[in-house]
A and B are shown apart, each in its own frame.
Chain A
């Protein structure tokens, strides 16, 4: 399985500001995903990020709020823009293995917005 790292691991931010989360993979992968896990809740897909194309967002998530970059096959960023306390969550990136089924997650970024 791929080794995935995320930066920062946690942050406390003030409302109205933006935070960019980085996701680095130790091997080239085609598909990367960004999920949100609200406190004590399950995981919800924000968007799918393929290299060389625009990210595909799920219902309820928009590019202006969660812009995503995917500059190469090992790296992606998610920005949480104009944050509010409701954005306090764990943000997780994941990658799909060559089998196109197995998906592996990074350690997550714990965001608190005050």
Chain B
């Protein structure tokens, strides 16, 4: 029940295209859903996050879509650029569990020029 399942494992997108990464969770107590971007040799960087009281959040080219009833959320990267090539992790946590993040398996995104 603590799992977060992420797909696809890898993704190849052409420059200018839309990258879509999906995550599904089971624990309905989760109330915070962040996405992290990780470049090789670096720590994960917080990209964007959403709370379950909204269905969508947009920051620049990055959008989170959240479907509470389906227990799914996704990251959309618009106008994907080669510099977006990285590994993306979704995660989930519960406020009353002290910030413990449960991570998805990760998606390796490659944006081709």
Chain A positions within 8 Å of B, measured between CB atoms, are: 1, 4, 31, 33, 41-45, 48, 56, 58, 92, 94, 96, 100-108, 110
- Give the dominant DSSP class at B's interface: loop
Say whether A43 contacts B45, CB under 8 Å: no
Apart from the given pairs A48-B100, A105-B44, 17 other A-B contacts in the complex at a CB distance below 8 Å = A4-B43, A31-B99, A33-B99, A42-B89, A43-B44, A48-B99, A92-B44, A100-B99, A101-B32, A101-B49, A101-B51, A102-B49, A103-B99, A104-B46, A105-B43, A106-B43, A110-B41
Q: Which residue of B lies closest to A9 (CB)?
A: B41
Give the distance to chain A from B24, nearest Cβ to Cβ, in Å: 15
Total interface residues on B, CB under 8 Å, equals 22
A-B contact pairs, 13 of them (CB 8 A): A31-B98, A33-B99, A42-B103, A45-B100, A48-B99, A58-B100, A94-B101, A100-B95, A101-B34, A101-B99, A102-B34, A105-B36, A107-B42
Q: Is the CB of A42 within 8 A of B106?
A: yes
**A107 to B105, Cβ gap below 8 A?**
no
| Other-chain contact of A43, B32, B95, B103 (Cβ < 8 Å) | B103
- Inter-chain contact B98/A103, CB cutoff 8 Å: no
In angstroms, Cα B103 to Cα A94, docked, is 14
Q: Which chain B residues have a beta carbon within 8 Å of chain A's beta carbons? A: 32, 34, 36, 41-46, 49, 51, 89, 93, 95, 98-101, 103-106
Per DSSP, chain A at the interface is strand
A103 to B42, CA, bound (A): 15
Task: Give the distance in Å from the alpha carbon of A102 to the alpha carbon of B105 in the complex.
Answer: 20
Cα of A78 to Cα of B61 in the assembled complex, Å: 37
**A92 with B106: CB separation less than 8 A:** no
Interface residue from B43, B49, B89, B103 paired with A108 (Cβ < 8 Å): B43
> Which chain A residues lie closer than 8 Å to B89 at the CB level?
42-43
Check if A108 sits within 8 Å of B42, measured CB to CB: yes
Given contacts A104-B46, A108-B43, contact A96 B103 (CB under 8 A): no
Query: Closest CB of chain A to B85's CB: distance in Å?
Result: 16
